[in-house]
Amino acid sequence: MKPFRFTCACCGETHQGLPAFALDRPPEIHALPPEARAARGRVSDDFCALLPEGGEGAPRMWIRTVMILPIRGEDETLEFGFWLEVSNEDFDRYLHSFDGEQDGMSCRGVLSTDCEVYRDFGIEGLACTAEWFTEARPLLTPDMAAHPLARDWHEGVPPERAAQVAAAYLHR
Ligand SMILES: [Zn+2]
C-alpha cells in the first residue's frame, strides 16, 4: 500500500502516513471545569457518560466508534475515532453485550466529536448508524447524504482536505 504523503501547511515538511484521529473524551466533557468533570463525567476508552447537574434528569451517553473515509486517488484511508451520542437504552444494550457477541447489532446516534476541518460544516449533531462487531469498535455510516462529511464518505475525501485534517491533528 502506498502511504499518503503531503506537504504540511503548518510546518512545511513533507509528512508520510496518517494517524488515526481520535479524542480521548467527547468535547462536551472536555469543556467542563476539572471539578465538574471529576464529579459528573465517567470516561473509559469505549464508554462515556455525563451525569446531569444536580442529579436531576437522564445522563448523556456516548460510545466510541470508528468512521473510515476513502481518500480520492490514494490507498490510505482517513480513520476517525468519533464519539457517538446514543440513547440510554442503546448505551445499556451496548454495555451489556460488550464482552459477548455483538455481530449483527446496531444503533443510531449523533456525532459529538469535533474535527478541525469539518467543524465549519456542523459535524456535531450529524446522525449516523453504528454497526456493531464482536471484535472491533462500531463502524459508522452517515445518515444524511447531503452533509459534506457524508459526501466525502461516499465519494472520497479530496487529498487537500485529508492533508488539512492531518496537519491540524499533528500540530494541535
Ligand atoms: Zn507538519
Q: What is the pLDDT of residues 31-64, one digit of tens each?
A: 899 999 999 999 999 999 999 988 788 999 999 9
- All three cell numbers of 82, joined, read 468519533
Ligand 1 center–CA 7 separation, angstroms: 8
Phi, psi of 35 (to 5 degrees): -65, -45
Question: Is the pLDDT at 132 greater than 70, yes or no?
Answer: yes
Per 3-state DSSP, the chain is made up of helix, strand and coil in percentages (nearest 5) of: 30, 30, 40
Ligand 1 center–CA 47 separation, angstroms: 31
Ligand 1 center–CA 58 separation, angstroms: 42
Alpha-carbon dihedral 5, 10, 12, 18, rounded to 10 degrees: -20
What confidence category does residue 128 fall into, taking pLDDT thresholds of 50, 70 and 90?
very high
pLDDT for position 54? 85
Ligand 1 center–CA 2 separation, angstroms: 19
Domain coordinates in residue numbering, the chain: 20-170
User: Alpha-carbon distance 19 to 91, whole Å?
Assistant: 28
- pTM for this one? 0.89
Ligand 1 center–CA 74 separation, angstroms: 19
Q: What percent of the chain has pLDDT over 70?
A: 95
